[in-house]
Structures are given as C-alpha cells and as structure tokens.
Amino acid sequence: MAAVSPSSHLSKAVRQQYMSLPQGETCQVTYVWIDGTGEGLRSKTRTLYSEPKSIEDIPEWNFDGSSTYQAEGSNSDMYLIPVCMFKDPFTLDPNKLVFCEVLKYNRLPAETNHRLSCSKVMEAVKEHCIWFGMEQEYTLLGVDGHPFGWPTNGYPAPQGPYYCGVGANNAYGRDIVECHYKACLYAGVKIYGTNAEVMPSQWEFQVGPCEGIEMGDHLWVARYLLHRVCEDFGVVATLDPKPMVGNWCGAGCHTNVSTKEMREKGGLQYIEQAIEKLSKKHAEHIRVYDPHGGKDNIRRLTGLHETSSIEDFSAGVANRGASIRIPRQVGQEKRGYFEDRRPAANCDPYTVTRSIAATCLLDTDEGENSK
C-alpha cells in the first residue's frame, strides 16, 4: 500500500460540519508566495472584513523570512506584495487566494523573486502580444518518497501502456488530477488540459495560452493548487525533473510560444527567426531552465526518453527529440507557435518566459544580467 499522510485520514464528515458554517461578511484571504528555494511555495491566511473586489483591495503583508530560507541577516521581515487574486477552491466563495511577490527589507525583490524582471521584459515586448502555454509534468509520491502506486519492492511493468492510459493497472492517482482540474477552473486559473504521462504515476497539466506575465502567475498558482489537492489526499507531487533513474521518463515543462506575427498568415518565417536566435543562446537558456543553473536538468536532458541532449541545440517539425519542436499542424499551416522542450519541471516560469521573450524579441536579457 502506498504511504499516505496521517492528516488525510482525519474525518472528512467532521470537517464538513465546520466548513459549511456561515461566515457573515468576513473573507479569508490566503497569501501565497515562492520561498527561498525558488521551488517551494508557502501560504498563510488572514481575515478581511469585506470581500475584496480587486487586487488593490488586498493589503500588503509580511512574514518571517528566516523561516523560509529568505532572510538576510537579522533583518528577517519580508514584504508580501499581492499581484493577482483567485477564488479559493478549498474554502469557497467569497474566500480568496492571492499570489504575492516577495520583497526584502529594502523593498528590492528577494533572490528567488523573478517576477519583476520578467514583467519588465514583457512590458518591453508588449506590441508583439506574446502568448505562452506551459505543460507542467509532475510525479506523485507517497509521503515515504516512493512513487505512488508502485510496488513496495520492485517496479511496475515497463513504460508503454501508461501515457494517456486508462484502467486501474495503468492510471495511478487520477482522483488527484481530476480534483486539481476542477480546483483550477473554480479558482480562475487558465488550465488548458491534462493527460497521464509515460511513466506510471506521472501526469501533466497545461496552462495557457497566457499573455506575458500572466503565464508565470497562473502556472505558480496552478502548482499551489496541485500541492494542496495532493495534501488533502495524503500524497506528494514532486517537480523533480528525473525522479526515477533508469528506463523511466523524466518530467519537463515544455513551453509553447507565439507572437502576433507568428499567429498570422505566413507566420512560420517569424517562428524560424525566433529559433535561429534561440540557437545562438542555448547555454544561457539551459542556465535558467531549472532553479540550479542547469544542474537539475542534466539528469533529464540525456537525448533519450523523448529529450534532446543538454549540450546541443536542435529544432524540427514534429520532432520530440529536439530542443525546439514545431508542431506538425503548424508546419502544414505555416503559422502558429513553437515548443521549447528544454525547461525542467521545476523551472521558474518567470525566468523561462523572460529569457524566451528577451532572446526572440529583444537583443539582451536584462533580467538575467541584473540577477
């Protein structure tokens, strides 16, 4: 049996009695932010005495950065700056989830806050109406760190039946996927779809198309919802790009990209131009496609298991072994979007979208230089 958390065994009937109590005019607002790992999410909740109608109605707040790997020295108070608001699918209307930027004591962005540098680049390329769609792959684990549903000793049957698989022998943990999908829709996250992945207990959801800075905002909130849904079921979702060594697929965060020019008739030439620019900055992109300068992605981008080698840049129509893939339909219609297959599952969507926008549409990535 998979190891699920003790909390998930607490009585849901008792919980329901309290959760259905009326709350009058009050509103619970849960502030969500990225911690000092650049990967972990944290949240805390406060009461407002009227329902906020827009992000401007949410006050700034603070937290103890010495407990989130974020504080500098003895100045441990960090600022939480609300940036976007969603409905809370756990405590329901009128309660809110608010995604926040983190600022240090001097009101400069915390080390793992890349939203500001991303939004500067998005502002600079605004005229191109750049759209992104990101494919978030993840793996379900028991609280003991063993893949969810895998035999305690040994392995499941080799890969083959699991991708988009159905049936109890192929799909491990679909409850989580379905509940997460509903939670995203309720919250207002632009979830695009979902599918089972090649490795058993590995899944994917996509977010998009989102314009500019919205991509990072929505993907981070979708990740928060995933971790919270998993918590309710007593299991863990890891974004490790290669959770199992051996003949098992890793987890990426393919990033689909288009500009207004690429989406219009004859747009393929703009896609080709963008790919040409990306080919000259392969190493720079690999450095920002996981939170550890490429070290996490080395384990995944081997050239096997539908990945390209981390060393080389390549591109091709319908080629899932290339760094950049032009979807077959886009090749046929000669317009649309391209897919950067290199970002790791644990990438920061702000740095990924910032560097793609900067390389393809500006001559420098100022965000990268300032960090």
CB closer to ligand ADP out of 105 and 192: 192
CB of 231 to ligand ADP, least distance (A): 25
Q: How far apart are CA 203 and CA 19, in angstroms?
A: 30
181 near ligand ADP, judged by CB under 6 A:
no
Binding mask 249-268 for ligand ADP (x = CB under 6 A): -----x-xxx----x-----
Report, in Å, the least distance between residue 368 CB and ligand ADP.
22
Query: Is 63:45 a contact under the CB 8 Å cutoff?
Result: no
Q: Say which entry of ligand ADP, Mn ion, none residue 133 contacts (CB below 5 to 8 A, set by partner kind).
A: ligand ADP
Point out which residues pair with 246 in neighbouring strands. Answer: none
Query: Does 192 help bind ligand ADP (rule: CB under 6 A)?
Result: yes
Q: Judge contact between 223 and 192, C-beta under 8 A.
A: no
Binding test (CB under 6 A) with ligand ADP, winner from 119, 206, 307, 355: 206
Contact 54, 29 (CB under 8 A): no
Contact 222, 205 (CB under 8 A): yes
Q: Using CB under 6 A, which of 135, 197, 214, 348 touches ligand ADP?
A: 135
End-to-end CA separation in angstroms for the chain: 45
Residue found by looking up tokens 């959760």 in the block? 19
CB-nearer residue toward ligand ADP: 79 or 138: 138
Q: Which is nearer to ligand ADP, 68 or 206 (CB)?
A: 206
Q: 101: Cβ–Cβ under 8 A, 6 or more apart, which residues?
A: 33, 80, 81, 83, 109, 113, 115, 116
Residues that bind Mn ion in the complex, under the rule CB under 5 A: 135, 204, 254
Minimum distance, C-beta of residue 254 to Mn ion, in the bound complex (Å): 4
Task: Tell me the residue length of the chain.
Answer: 371
What minimum distance in Å lies between the beta carbon of 169 and ligand ADP? 23
| Segment (H or E) for 193 | strand 191-196
Residue 288's alpha-carbon distances to 264, 280, 338, 342, in angstroms, are: 30, 15, 19, 10
Look at residue 349 and give the partner it binds from Mn ion, ligand ADP, none, a contact being a CB closer than 5 to 8 Å depending on partner kind: none
Q: Which C-beta is closer to Mn ion: that of 101 or that of 204?
A: 204
Residue (71 or 251) nearer to ligand ADP, CB: 251
Residue 113 bridge partners (DSSP): none
Binding site for ligand ADP (CB under 6 A): 131-135, 192, 206, 208-209, 254, 256-258, 263, 336-337, 339
